[in-house]
A and B are shown apart, each in its own frame.
Chain A
Amino acid sequence: MSKPRTIALMIVLPLATLYVSLFIGRFAVSPGEVARILWAQFFPLAHDWPNSAETIVLQIRLPRAVLAMFVGAGLAVSGAAYQGMFRNPLVSTDILGVTAASGFGAALALLLSRNAVELQLIAFAFGLLGVALTYLLARVYRTTPVLMLVLSGIVVAAFFSALLSGAKYVADPESKLPAITYWLLGSLNGASVDSLKMALPPIIVGCIGLLFLRWMINVLTMGDEEARSLGVRTEWLKGGIIVFTTLITAAAVSVCGIVGWVGLVIPHIGRMLVGPDHRALLPATLSIGATFLLCIDDVARTATASEIPLGILTALIGAPFFAALLRKTRGAWQ
């Protein structure tokens, strides 16, 4: 595909998916009505649609779709940055223990019967705490070798997973255990304007930060010593990537639970489309990640009478899709 066409596709695809997402659902709103409702937000227009349609589109579907796009974009770009930093295409966003720690934070909040806002805050704080622990654990002689980071991440994730199991074990099996279990499976049905206000700032800051580091991530894939010889302050760079990625992932997990696969698979699809250069790859993963998670969420809320948890669908759809890609490219995708 030529470069301008790829760029156009990367811009049009998420927007088109967003538009479609606003009129599909159990409550029928026609595409024309959606267009007029959106138009009326900016320009005067005769009000010829039911108020319920406007509420559904603007208060329910739009925040949810926007959240899906930001979470998808954020997880995808984080995965791409980590795969570059760890020089390993098998790495995902939860490698440093952020997911496990956030998950425990959320379970703790549910156990203590906190409200949705408090849950989001606690889960976010635990996510940051988990990664901070990993980073401190990995620090030797003022450096953080990649292998130490990976091993420390495994340690911290195991620790918080055990705490999470403990929380589940003591949770009331009638009410709280199901709540924890459902939360961990991931869902966007809690999306509201309020949750947007809390989740979007860290995700946006993280994404912009990673985009700024696009070239330095290229150089970092040469390995620490070579990157240093090329003038990169590798410890600062790795710290920056970890901070930005953790902001994104912790915010994402805190608002919609554990959504796997996006951070692992989307960077590969991005590399197939635009190559390994992070100057092109990071923007591409933003677009593909947003589109992917929005599509998945549309399926999650419309396929059956009740919601299907996101975590199930991303793997259920993502795994065969990835398997097909693997077969087609025989593993030469990177």
Chain B
Amino acid sequence: MSGPLIEVRGASFRYGEHVVFRSLGLEVYSGEVLTILGPNGCGKSTLLRCIGGALALDQGSVLLGDVDLAALDARARARKIAFLFQDHTPSFPFAVLDVVSMGRTPYLSTFGAPSRQDSRMAEEALEQVGLRHLKSRPYTELSGGERQLVLLARTLVQQPAVILLDEPTAHLDFKNQVRSLERIGALAGQGVTMIMTSHDPNHAFLFPGRAALMQPGGAITVGPAAQVVTDASLSGAYGIGVSVLSHPRRDGRGEFKFCTPWYN
């Protein structure tokens, strides 16, 4: 296997006195979906923001290939890394296509605007997430699930090396969670590298790639999902009883894993 696409080395970050993580190391390989799990407040979103450059590490570095991301300006970084934020507050009712075109911004000059070529790329990205028919609609009128996919399309037209997804299913209902995860799975199938934080350990079993489990205090275990996501590790991290179970797939091709907490 070739070297990692992204390498986090000796990373430390703290908010004032509160140490979020210390000397953290993490490698992400091209074409995988790395799912970062962990209880609320363990610092997985903070870690993702540090990788994306939204927050600056106190110590350590994030390398993309052999480039230190801290050395890149916002424009250059936005061509390498795209971010799907957990909380997006819609402002003005822009047309869906215009919102997706915003992903082309890192390729424009400060005084420029997207070209026809850029709009075409935006339309193709909308096609990829299955929402081309909505391109002229105000994006403020879309459902939460559709809006999330529009923003996912926006990350695609950035043509990044890696897409960071911060709790992409956080505000979605059951069906829209599944739809979003299916789209993410389809992108993974096309070889798009992604790092995703999730509050749901089940998500670790969905994609080709490894899982990382973060403990409060920033300790992190990385490996194949089947090894990282176990009864013992989840019970330890979340402080509740959890069982990882298997169930035959409906198409008969083996089993799929899922986990469920124990309710008292």
A residues with a Cβ closer than 8 A to B are 84, 87, 212-216, 218-219, 221-223, 225-226, 228-234, 237, 271, 275-277, 279, 334
Contact = CB atoms under 8 A, between A and B. Distances in A.
Interface stretch (B82-90, B185-193, B203-211): B82-90
B78 A230 contact: yes
Interface string B45-81: 0000000111000000000000000000111111101
Contact of B108 (A215, A237, A276, A277): A215
B66 to A, nearest CB: 21
Interface in B73-117: 73-79, 81-83, 85, 88-89, 91-95, 98, 102-103, 105-106, 108, 110-114
Contacts of B154: 230
Given A228-B74, A231-B74, A218 B94 contact: yes
Contacts of A229: 52-54, 78, 81-83, 85
Contacts, number: 80
B220 to A, nearest CB: 23
A307 to B, nearest CB: 38
Nearest to B89: A223
A333 to B, nearest CB: 10
A218 B52 contact: no
Interface residues of B, number: 34
Given A221-B92, A229-B85, A277-B94, 5 more contacts: A228-B74, A229-B82, A230-B154, A276-B94, A277-B98
A233 B53 CA distance: 13
B158 interface: yes
Contacts of A214: 113
Contacts of A215: 105, 108, 112-114
A216 B108 CA distance: 10
A234 B110 CA distance: 11
Given A215-B113, A225-B85, A275 B95 contact: yes
B105 A230 contact: yes
Contacts of B91: 87, 221-223
Contacts of B92: 84, 87, 221, 271, 276, 334
- Listed from nearest, the 6 A-B pairs whose CB atoms lie closest are A231-B106, A231-B78, A276-B92, A215-B113, A212-B111, A229-B83
B88 A226 contact: yes
Contact of A216 (B77, B78, B88, B110): B110
Interface-centre pick from A84, A228, A279, A334 (highest chain B CB count, 10 A):
A228
19 contacts: A87-B91, A212-B111, A215-B108, A218-B102, A221-B92, A221-B94, A222-B88, A222-B102, A230-B78, A230-B102, A230-B106, A231-B74, A231-B78, A234-B74, A276-B92, A276-B93, A277-B94, A279-B113, A334-B92
B205 to A, nearest CB: 28
A221 B99 CA distance: 11
B113 A233 contact: no
B158 A230 contact: yes
B152 to A, nearest CB: 13
